[in-house]
Amino acid sequence: MLLSWSGLGREPYTFRSGQSVPGAHLQLLRDSEYAGCFDQHLLLAVPETLADSERLVRELMAIPKPVHTEIKVLRLANPTDHREIAYALVRFLEEADRNSRLLDHELFVLLNTGTPQMQTVWVTLVTQGLCDLRIIQTSPAVLAQRSGSPVAQELRLDMQGWATMFRNIRERRPEA
């Protein structure tokens, strides 16, 4: 099952270098190895992004291997407030689990969508071990091609690996 946030004016297509290119959802669900992999997609929206969400769902239904996408509107006074986003997510996840055993599914999250604060909350949930989620990130096709990476790939947040990578930086920190 895939979870993602909708974005305001960035889906289903976005502009990059003056050209219309597929947004993160189309990259993942149409143009990547993940196409056809998900049974269900819960698209989280705020009232301000509902029209964009509905446009995205219509586009997703037209792809060769469509995934059943359901829009869930979460009320946020401030979609840039980490704490408010976290509270809204926990209420949504608890309710969805009560109604349809959501947490019994393998859950994937599309990281690139929503506000940067929404993205940070997903990463925090995973790194703190608060939620068992697998995070997928997309890259614009031209950048993925340039770097030799896939358009969509799972982001591994192995904190031990990150700690090793930043060991020299951490060791140079001045004593407080």
The one-letter amino acid at 48: E
In the predicted model, is pLDDT for residue 59 greater than 90?
yes
**Which CATH number is 146's domain given?**
3.40.50.10770
In the predicted model, is pLDDT for residue 67 greater than 90?
yes
The predicted-structure confidence for 82-121, as pLDDT tens digits, reads as follows 999 999 999 999 999 999 999 999 999 999 999 999 999 9
In the predicted model, is pLDDT for residue 173 greater than 80?
no
Cα gap 48→55, rounded to integer Å: 13
The predicted-structure confidence for 119-168, as pLDDT tens digits, reads as follows 999 999 998 889 999 999 999 888 899 999 999 999 988 767 777 888 78
Q: Given this model, what pLDDT does residue 153 score? A: 95
Alpha-carbon distance values, 61 to 141, 152, 168 (Å) = 22, 20, 49
Question: Would 39 be classed as within a structural domain?
Answer: yes
Question: Would 117 be classed as within a structural domain?
Answer: yes
* Number of domains, the chain: 1
Question: Would 11 be classed as within a structural domain?
Answer: yes
The one-letter amino acid at 95: E
Percent of the chain with pLDDT over 70: 97
Find where tokens 């925090």 sit: 124
This prediction has a pTM of 0.89
Categorize the per-residue pLDDT at 175 as very low, low, confident or very high, splitting at 50, 70 and 90. Answer: low
Question: Would 101 be classed as within a structural domain?
Answer: yes
Burial of 30 (0-12, 13-18, 19+ CB in 10 A): buried
In the predicted model, is pLDDT for residue 14 greater than 90?
no
CB-facing half-sphere around the CA of 25: CA atoms within 13 A: 33
The predicted-structure confidence for 33-58, as pLDDT tens digits, reads as follows 999 999 999 999 999 999 999 999 99
Residues spanned by the domain of 116: 2-171
Question: Would 176 be classed as within a structural domain?
Answer: no
Cα gap 72→93, rounded to integer Å: 11
**Helix 82-100 crosses helix 116-127 at what angle (to 10 degrees)?**
60
Question: Would 103 be classed as within a structural domain?
Answer: yes
Question: Would 68 be classed as within a structural domain?
Answer: yes
